[in-house]
Amino acid sequence: MQERRKKRGPIIDFLLLGLIVTLTTVILVIILSKDEFKFQKISASKEESKTESVNSNLSTESSAFPGIRIVTDVSNDKRTPFAIHYPQTDNKVFNDAVLQYISDSKENYLASMKKNKDKDKEAMGELNISLETFPYREHYYSFVLTKMEYLGGANHEVSTKTFFINNETGEQITIQTLLQNDENNLSTLAANVRKDLQKNLQIKDELFTDELLKATEPKWSNFNRFAIVDDSLQFYFNEYEIASGAAGAPIVKLPLSLINPLLASEFQIAMENVKPTNPPPTGDPNKKRIALTFDDGPHPKVTEQILNILDKYHAKATFFMLGSRVQYYPDIARDVLARGHEIGNHSWNHPVLTKLTQEQVMKEYNTTANEIEKAINHGATVFRPPYGATNDTINAEIPIPVVLWSIDTLDWKHRNAQQLLPHVKNNLHNNAIVLMHDIHQSTADGLDAVLAYLQEQGYEFVTVSEILPYRQ
């Protein structure tokens, strides 16, 4: 028995040993392969998180505006450059809304760049989000974030995101709130925005007709990119959204005075501050009055001759001057004022204002206002648009009364001294405003007869500002 056991022993031992070795090897292989898998997974996720939060420099600074901080986020990776600026306040809801937009923009950019780099290792791109801050009243702020994204090739795009907040309550104000949640107000606003774009000479030829009509349909979502900048409500459109690239990213500026009735009361402007109200009439209401006006001067010879005739009849008149001519003849402008007449602004070089952009209109107005102020040390008190061409927007923007006329002598057309009086006589009425031009010799030559006749009829010669109260 002992011998047999002894004989079988080494075989069993050998077999057991072999089994153990095999099992151990199998287990080891399984463990090792599992670990290897695990390691791979860890390193892969490490890679992923690396691309998600690209190495960047984040800094937060306080700003000139109370409670508003500006965050700057600049990429440290030359291959995926970006520079981002955005606002943060003490309001979490607002902060989260801004951050959502920023992180979406960044992720989209980095993902697109990654894709491009898979195709082309040298692919370059850029993301730039700039911030403009516009305070309104005590505690309202508009934030305009302009995003310029370049993904290489021709994929260049400019788009805008805006936020409008009450910094006292922290709440965001939507276009619905601004327009009193009134669909009629939305329709009026939409029509104004569309009209403004169609009239805009700089982009008129670049507009995509169908896209423009769609983007200016009276839908709230069409008008949620807005800001109040100075005295205007501005609307932003993305590059290529409604016009070709040559038009850039269009902006529509509507004067608050134009859309004042559409706005919720806390955003309305005090209309009496927009234009000086005309004083109530103080003179005798039964008296006959007439306002003679002379446009397009001053002229070194004709204006002087007209001034002498007016003096002869102790008549006061109004001279609507061109800024470009005041620049040449400031002495004559001074003489007109010194002799008791009123001086009006008639634009810089006589364009049809309704064909210009609002900015160009205001440039015509402002340059002339400055030139007159410089010449006579006194501002022009009334404005007359060349050719009488004006509209509600222009009338609302010009800060002084816009005055047309009620009797046209057509002196510029007939250039005949004998025809001046008949034209006045045929259209004569009380409180009339008579249009003449102090650049035509025939007007100066026919004026004496006009004054003699009107005086005989009992008319008093007053300035435009003096007659306006009687014309209301």
Binding site for Zn ion (CB under 5 A): 295-296, 386
Q: Supply the minimum distance, in Å, between the C-beta of residue 350 and Zn ion.
A: 6
Inter-residue contact 306 to 294 (CB < 8 Å): yes
Which residue number, 295 or 397, has a Cβ lying nearer to Zn ion? 295
Measure CA of the first residue to CA of the last residue in the chain; give whole Å: 140
Q: Is the Cβ of residue 295 or residue 438 nearer to Zn ion in the bound state?
A: 295
Nearest to 352, CA basis, from 201, 247, 251? 201
Instruction: Give the H or E element holding residue 88.
Output: strand 82-88
Q: At a CB cut-off of 8 Å and minimum separation 6, what does 147 contact?
A: 105, 127, 128, 129, 157, 158, 159, 160, 161
In the complex, least distance from residue 364 CB atom to Zn ion, rounded to whole angstroms: 12
Report the length, in residues, of the chain: 472
Nearer to Zn ion, 84 or 356 (CB): 356
Q: Which residue is catalytic, options 196, 295, 296, 411?
A: 295
Decide if 437 is catalytic. yes
In the complex, minimum distance from the CB of residue 382 to Zn ion, in angstroms, rounded to a whole number: 14
φ, ψ of residue 107 to 5 degrees: the values are -60, -45
Which residue's CB is nearer to Zn ion, number 239 or number 295? 295
Give the shortest CB-412-to-Zn ion separation in angstroms: 8
Question: Residue type at 83?
Answer: A
Peptide bond just before 300 cis, omega within 30 deg: no
Report CA 121 to chain centroid distance, whole Å: 41
- CB–CB of 318/307 below 8 Å? no
CA 177 to chain centre: 20
CB of 307 to Zn ion, least distance (A): 19
CB of 431 to Zn ion, least distance (A): 22
Chain residue at closest Cβ approach to Zn ion: 295
Smaller CB separation from Zn ion, 295 or 371: 295
Nearer to Zn ion, 239 or 296 (CB): 296
**Sheet order of strands, 226-229 included:** 226-229, 232-236, 251-255
Q: Residue 392's CB: how many other CB atoms inside 10 A?
A: 11
Of the candidates 85, 299, 423, 437, the residue annotated as catalytic is 437
DSSP 343-408: EEE--SS---GGGS-HHHHHHHHHHHHHHHHHHHSS---EE--GGG---HHHHHHSSS-B---SEE
> Closer to Zn ion at the Cβ: 241 or 438?
438
* Nearest in space to 455 (alpha carbons), one of 254, 292, 333: 292
CB of 293 to Zn ion, least distance (A): 10
Q: Which residues are catalytic?
A: 295, 437
